[in-house]
Chains A and B, each alone.
Chain A
Amino acid sequence: MTFFDLARKNAWRKPLRTVLLMISIAVAFLIYGLTASFLNGTQGAAGASDDLLGVTSASGRTQPLPIAAMSRITADLDVAAAGYVARLRGFVDVEKNFVAVSAADPGLLMAVNGKELGLTPALIDAIGQARDKVLVGRALAEAQGWIAGQRVTVTAFDMSRQDGSRDWRFEIAGIFEGENAATDTYFMIARYDYVNAARVRGKDTVDAFVVRPRAGVSPGELAARIDTLFSNSATPTRTQSERQFLEAFLRQYADIGLIVNLVVGAAFVTLLMIVVNTMVFAVRERTFEIGVLKTLGFSRLDIVALILGETLFVFAVGGGIGLALAKLAATFAGPALGLVFSTPVLVKALAIIAALGLATGVLPAFNAMRIPIITAFRTR
């Protein structure tokens, strides 16, 4: 027997109570795992660059810009590289399985944003083999279970083909990894020439230009200059850094994120109170035995360790079950729900398990630590 065995056996003295506690903890961490996976699978602003500029219509991001504006942008000597993107939003198989496609000139995209996206010459060659080839980001590929060479059909929400269909068929030419774990790779890159030729409306327009300033050039100043360039045109522009652009785009989900955090926070606070209350009573029932342990030579710190060990055990088992269920859900329903159960989500959850396990044990442990042996013996 070890100290941990003793804590574990204490926890199982009333199996029904312990099982109910574990279930409530498991449910709370299932909720946390699912919501964290959801936010993780739908956001990528953290990996966005401050140096990369996005030029969109001043009337709104959904308003197109003529592709002809590209030449006026690249005419500025402070522009190192520029590309363009037309967005195709749709789903695969079921409507909930949202997929975003960025239709671009792969070569230009490589020049302007290749490093951040993890594009390689081999990938650019691969997408250049045929007009319907696409490159898929690692996060999207993992979530969907896609591999290179696979054919996928994206049903567009609002971009019809000339044949009347909204189904866009692509063949995966390769997977791009992103520069690091924070890079948003939950989308695919298609060829603009293919999409532009096949679509009914919006021909020769783009949703955004992507601009990389020359080294030493202030992105803010260049952005202002580009917007001035188009201020008196038919399509005034709004130029922001990639980070500003993505954050503004994601702000529409910010309320959802806030609500999700509040719900999870409320669940954890409730859980904290339930477990603290239960543990206080559980330890109070054992006051006499704590007196016996102290008589045998267990110090106050030993008693504290024993009770913290017990609450940690309950949280570890309950939390572990909840996270395992969240992982299963992300594995089997991830593509449909946009869930990505990543290592950072797991690490954060484990830290919360440890923190809550200790926090819930502090009060009962403190009570048990303080009680004098003589007083403990009077409780029988």
Chain B
Amino acid sequence: MTQGNEPYIALSGIKKAYRIGGEMIPIFSGLDLTIPRGDFVAVMGPSGSGKSTLLNMLAGIDRPDGGTLRIGTSHLDQMGEAARAAWRAHNMGIVFQFYNLLPMLTAAENVELPLLLKPLTRKERRLRVERVLDLVGLSGREKQYPALMSGGQQQRVGIARAIVSDPGLLLCDEPTGDLDRKSADEVLEMLRFLNRQLEKTIIMVTHDPQAALYARRTLHLDKGDFIEEKRAA
């Protein structure tokens, strides 16, 4: 847990470059960012601006080349792969653009996946799954397979899977990018609910200005740095 006024997420001097065709292409050359606990941040920017790279580093699935990256008390930039996997299992949920549900599992089984990594009994896992499916409005669809669900329903299963472990941080990668407006608004309402009522810290990468309005603030990334920051209405 962070102490006093210390930000929940702190990135300092982050450097990241990718080798493309033998040439190093810099993405970040000293990025700084702080996010307090309970914030809901939309990250926008053109393609190639580093949004996904930022999200990957926050998720611990990519490492910065330089700088420090702390979330809570965990210094992700110093952790090995196994430690980062364990950190993800207990501290973070992720919502993907294309839901990324496993097709051979039912909605309930997909939601249960992260709980297999926790020391819970079968009954405890079932109760948690029922609770979050109810929270996202999918009670009664536990045994339905993803292929038989609409995009909006699949994304709600994805959100349920992301929050079933009760993580403090929720990372969303274009969560409404594959949805119609109505379904997108439902999903965004749900994210706002999770932020306001359950105090989840949410970082959402999006291209959709409408989606960004649901966040407490919006960060614009361009050429590897934040060029604008504003509070959402």
Contacts and interface: CB of A to CB of B under 8 A. Distances in A.
Given A373-B61, A374-B56, A295 B94 contact: yes
Nearest to A5: B109
Contact of B61 (A9, A295, A299): A295
Contact of A298 (B85, B96, B104): B85
Nearest to B85: A299
Taking each of B96, B117, B122, which has the highest tally of chain A beta carbons within 10 Å of its own beta carbon?
B117
B102 interface: yes
B62 interface: yes
Interface string B34-77: 00000000000000000000001001011000000000000000
Contact of B116 (A3, A288, A294): A3
B220 interface: no
A77 interface: no
Contacts of A3: 116
Contact of B88 (A13, A295, A300): A295
A300 B61 contact: no
A296 interface: yes
Contacts of A281: none
A296 B102 CA distance: 12
A296 B62 contact: no
**Does more than half of chain A's interface fall in helix, strand or loop, or is it mixed?**
helix
B17 interface: no
B161 A294 contact: no
Contacts of A293: 113
Nearest to A297: B89
Interface string B98-131: 1010111100010011101100001001000000
A284 B125 CA distance: 30
Contact of B82 (A2, A300, A374): A300
A307 to B, nearest CB: 14
A251 to B, nearest CB: 54
Nearest to A11: B104
Interface residues on B, range: 20 to 34
B117 A297 contact: yes
Contacts of B100: 288-289, 292
Given A1-B109, A297-B86, A302-B117, A289 B102 contact: yes
B166 to A, nearest CB: 13
A346 to B, nearest CB: 32
B10 to A, nearest CB: 22
Interface in A338-377: 372-374
B35 to A, nearest CB: 20
A249 interface: no
A157 interface: no
Interface in A288-326: 288-289, 292-302
Given A289-B102, A295-B61, A1 B112 contact: yes
A50 to B, nearest CB: 56
A370 B85 CA distance: 14
A9 B85 contact: no
A9 B88 contact: no
A80 interface: no
Contacts of B165: 297
A296 B113 contact: yes
Contact of A297 (B56, B90, B96): B90
5 contacts: A1-B112, A6-B113, A9-B109, A288-B100, A300-B81
List 6 A-B pairs, minimum CB-CB distance, nearest first. Answer: A297-B89, A373-B61, A297-B88, A299-B85, A292-B100, A9-B104
Interface of B: 56, 59, 61-62, 81-82, 85-90, 94, 96, 98, 100, 102-105, 109, 112-114, 116-117, 122, 125, 161, 165
